[in-house]
Amino acid sequence: MHRFAFVIHPIDVKRDAARKYPIARYLPERWVESLLKRKEPMVVSRITGIRSLTGAQTEGWFIGCPLSPRMMLSLPLEFVYQKIIRCGEIAQELGAEIIGLGAFTSVVGDGGITIAKNLKIAVTTGNSYTVATAIEGAVRAAELMGVPIEEATVAVVGATGSIGRTCALALAPQAARILLLGRDLQRLEPVAAELRQRARGEVLLSTDLAHALPQADVVITVTSAVDAIIYPQHLKSGAVVCDVARPRDVSVRVAREREDVLVIEGGVVAVPGEVDFGFDFGFPPRTAYACMSETMMLALEGRIESFTLGKEVSLQQVETTQQLAQKHGFRLAGFRSFERAISEQEIARIRENARRQGARSYSSVG
Asked whether the predicted pLDDT for residue 151 surpasses 50, the reply is yes
What contacts 359, CB < 8 A, 6 or more positions away?
none
The DSSP annotation for 139-195 comes to HHHHHHTT--GGG-EEEEETTTSHHHHHHHHHHTTTSSEEEEE-S-HHHHHHHHHHH
SS3 39: coil
**C-alpha–C-alpha distance, residues 199 and 356, integer Å:** 32
Asked whether the predicted pLDDT for residue 266 surpasses 80, the reply is no
pLDDT for position 267: 64
**C-alpha–C-alpha distance, residues 151 and 167, integer Å:** 17
> β-strands 122-124, 153-157: how paired?
unpaired
pLDDT for position 191: 95
Query: Side chain identity at 318, as an amino acid letter?
Result: V
**C-alpha–C-alpha distance, residues 202 and 135, integer Å:** 19
Provide the CATH number for the domain formed by 129-267+335-365 in this structure: 3.40.50.720
pLDDT tens profile 277-312: 999 887 889 999 999 999 999 999 999 999 999 988
Query: Side chain identity at 239, as an amino acid letter?
Result: A
Mean pLDDT of 167-171: 94
pTM of the model: 0.86
pLDDT for position 88: 98
Domains of the chain by residue range: 4-126+271-332, 129-267+335-365
Per DSSP, helices labelled H in 185-238 are 185-196, 209-212
**C-alpha–C-alpha distance, residues 347 and 260, integer Å:** 9
Task: Report the first-to-last Cα separation within the chain, whole angstroms.
Answer: 67
Per DSSP, helices labelled H in 302-343 are 315-328
pLDDT tens profile 226-239: 889 999 999 999 99
Asked whether the predicted pLDDT for residue 365 surpasses 70, the reply is no
**C-alpha–C-alpha distance, residues 261 and 341, integer Å:** 16
Q: Contact, 145 vs 262, CB < 8 A?
A: yes
Q: Please state, as a whole number, how many other Cβ atoms lie within 10 Å of the Cβ of residue 164.
A: 26
pLDDT tens profile 185-221: 999 999 999 999 999 999 999 999 999 999 999 999 9
C-alpha triplet 92, 245, 342: angle, nearest 5°: 105
Asked whether the predicted pLDDT for residue 343 surpasses 90, the reply is no
Could you give the count of Cα atoms lying within 13 Å of 342 in the half-sphere of its Cβ?
Answer: 21
